[in-house]
Amino acid sequence: MKAVQIMSFGTADVLRINDVDRPAPGVGEVLVSVEATSVNGHDVIVRTGELKMMSGRRFPIGTGLDFAGTVVATGTDVARFRAGDRVWGMVHPRRRHTVAAAAEYVVVSADRISHAPADLAAVDAAALVVAGSTALIALRDSVRLTSGERVLVRGAAGGVGTAAVQLAHAMGGHVTALARDRHAELLTDLGADEVLDYGTTTSDRIGPFDVIVDTVGSELHCYRSRLAKGGRMVTVGLSPSALAEIAASSLHGSRRIRTFSANPHTPVLRDLAVQVASGALRPVIDSVYPLADIAAAHRAFERGGVVGKHVVTVPRSSV
């Protein structure tokens, strides 16, 4: 089978599509024929070596976090899934994988997948797994958004941002989206009550907000200062400087900057499917690439300016 692998740390040029043996599911695992995956920040920082403490220095390293596809086989002790089930899910982000989701087949623990929404194409499903689950965990579990609260989504046009705007709106929040002015029409259509131009709006001229969802990971202290009394802030845009600001913010109690590593299991993916079925959440896709052009998808992600997600389709294989 074909699998995309990182052959050394570096630019997108280090990605190779290699022929590898098709894996077999073990106890509690399923084998999925992958139809689509997407490019996430995690993929890029593993490829560049920024996470070498986790990924190690042994090559090749698999790439790709999320996937949508069809169950081909199950290992023992798997009762919820059978061959032919359409599923979506995510490989474990903190483990080293020789083959990950950017491949014709992937083996994954059964507790990391759920049945995909019935009416959602694989390309659309792959665009929502990481982005949607991250936004859902941030709003529901981390800051516990309640109806009527004022919400700022920073980086609102990206994958997590577009999902956060939709979910915050569905949860009854008054949503302010911070993004480039050219994305205002889209974000309003997704549920934003107000769209502020990221290029001209400074943090000291907005707010206060009850909840801030940050996807950028810079100037966190400036935005934290825009929280109302009892406000909560969460960031999913992690960097060394962001980690320092998060640690320093612990002095502020409930108004500290929260963060988490999105690592959804079946219950979160089920809840995400409910949001899709209800019409509260839909995918936003910037562009679609075939697996053969995954390096181009990585380059496009790194250039920035993405609206929603870059999705990669995986051709069917009989291998």
Rounded CA separation 35/71 (Å): 11
Average pLDDT of the chain? 93
Structure confidence at residue 95 (pLDDT):
85
Task: Kindly state whether residues 134 and 95 are assigned to the same domain.
Answer: no
Q: Which residues contact 189 (CB under 8 A, 6 or more apart)?
A: none
Residue 87 lies in a domain: yes
Q: What is the pLDDT of residues 258-270, one digit of tens each?
A: 888 778 999 999 9
Q: Which of 164-178, 239-253, 267-281 has the lowest mean pLDDT?
A: 239-253
| 253, pLDDT greater than 60 | yes
Residue 200 and residue 106 in one domain: no
Q: Residues 29, 119: one domain?
A: yes
User: Is 28 a domain residue?
Assistant: yes
Same domain, 166 and 226: yes
Rounded CA-CA distance 138/144 in Å is 8
| Domain membership of residue 67 as a residue range | 2-127+283-313
- Cβ-count burial 130-140 (b if 16+ within 10 Å, e if not): bbbbbbbbbbe
User: Does residue 44 lie within any of the structural domains?
Assistant: yes
Q: How many domains does one find in the chain?
A: 2
Which range, of 52-61, 94-103, 111-120, averages the lowest pLDDT? 52-61
Q: For residue range 154-201, list pLDDT tens digits in order.
A: 999 999 999 999 999 999 999 999 999 999 999 999 999 999 999 899
Q: Are residues 30 and 64 in the same domain?
A: yes
Q: How far apart are CA 114 and CA 258, in angstroms?
A: 27
- Residues 106-116 have a mean pLDDT of 97
Single pTM value for the model: 0.93
Give me the pLDDT at residue 121, please: 97
Give tens-digit pLDDT for 37-71: 999 999 999 999 987 766 667 899 999 999 999 99
If asked whether residues 238 and 119 sit together in one domain, one would say no
- 129-136 and 266-278 are packed helices; what angle lies between their axes, rounded to 10 degrees? 90
Query: What is the SS3 assignment for 5-73?
Result: EECCCCCHHHEEEEECCCCCCCCCEEEEEEEEEECCHHHHHHHHCCCHHHHCCCCCEECCCEEEEEEEE
More confident residue, 99 or 202: 99
Asked if the structure places residue 264 within a domain, the reply is: no
